[in-house]
Amino acid sequence: MQQAQHGTLLIDDLIGHSRLLEVSETVTLGRQGDFLLASDDPAMHRTFLQVWSNGSQWFIKNIGSFIAATIQPPAACGFGRTLISPGSIEVLHPGTSTLYFSTATMSYECELTVMQSLRSPQPSLPPDGPFTTHVFEPNEEQCLLLKTLAQPLLDNPAAEPRVVVSSQRELAEALDWTEKKVERKIQTLAETLQKLGVPQFQPGQKISWRIVLAQFAAAHPHYYAHLS
């Protein structure tokens, strides 16, 4: 096997197949992907996941249409297990993350190992926000909004977000805020996460920020766990 270097990513299907990726590589995983997963399982997506690096971090995206995956990050990073639903993007932290997923016929797991931290991103503080560079630190009202947005998806992870996520009016009623305040809070959160480089909040997103923020909140419950 090629010797691992700083910043490389090792994919291991735990049944004898592995591949080491350089920072410049973008790879799909699936039944007919660049890296084969469940290649003999007709219930598996032809392309299920995609991994790539921006030079400072590795990312994983679910590019399938109905199969979800669960990722367990390295214990040292302090994050809990996260659901990667279709369309979702997550950061791969330095160390070994374990990925779990199932089709109608079989359950699978594989490991994704970021060998060591990539080069540190260049600091760039948001020009008009109180957040620390590359760290998302929501205040109490923002945490409450995130929790309320996420709750329907936490209650039913298989639900279609556009169907179950609360409307702006429903959020206002639940939080005892005005609809204008809800709109402003959602916009502020989306702009902050965009400035911090969170992939799903970058320009070009065609889905309502309310839906995107709900999916983000459901995937990162640690931001509002103290409210439970």
- 165 — pLDDT class (breaks 50, 70, 90): very high
CB-based contact 11:110 (threshold 8 Å): yes
Please check the confidence at residue 166 and state whether its pLDDT lies above 70. Answer: yes
**CA neighbor of 66 nearest in space, from 89, 79, 84, 54:** 84
SS3 of 149, please? helix
Q: What is the pLDDT of residue 27?
A: 95
Separation of alpha carbons 211 and 228, rounded Å: 22
Question: Mind listing the pLDDT tens digit for each residue in 90-125?
Answer: 889 888 999 999 988 899 999 999 986 444 444 333
Summarize the confidence of residues 175-192 as an average pLDDT. Answer: 92
More confident residue, 42 or 128: 42
Separation of alpha carbons 33 and 3, rounded Å: 23
Number of Cβ within a 10 Å radius of residue 48: 23
SS3 of 216, please? helix
Please list, in sequence order, all residues whose beta carbon lies within 8 angstroms of the beta carbon of residue 109, skipping any fewer than 6 positions away. Answer: 14, 98, 99, 100, 101
Is this prediction's pTM over 0.75? Answer: no
Separation of alpha carbons 72 and 28, rounded Å: 20
Please check the confidence at residue 194 and state whether its pLDDT lies above 50. Answer: yes
CB-based contact 41:48 (threshold 8 Å): no
**CA neighbor of 61 nearest in space, from 40, 42, 80, 33:** 33
Please check the confidence at residue 30 and state whether its pLDDT lies above 90. Answer: yes
CB-based contact 62:96 (threshold 8 Å): no
| Structural domains in the chain, sorted by start | 9-114 (2.60.200.20), 140-227 (no CATH)
Structure tokens at 86: 């279709």
Q: What is the pLDDT of residue 135?
A: 63
CA–CA distances in Å: residue 102 to residues 67, 97, 151, 192: 7, 17, 24, 34
Please check the confidence at residue 131 and state whether its pLDDT lies above 60. Answer: no
CB-based contact 123:19 (threshold 8 Å): no
Structure tokens at 163: 């169907």
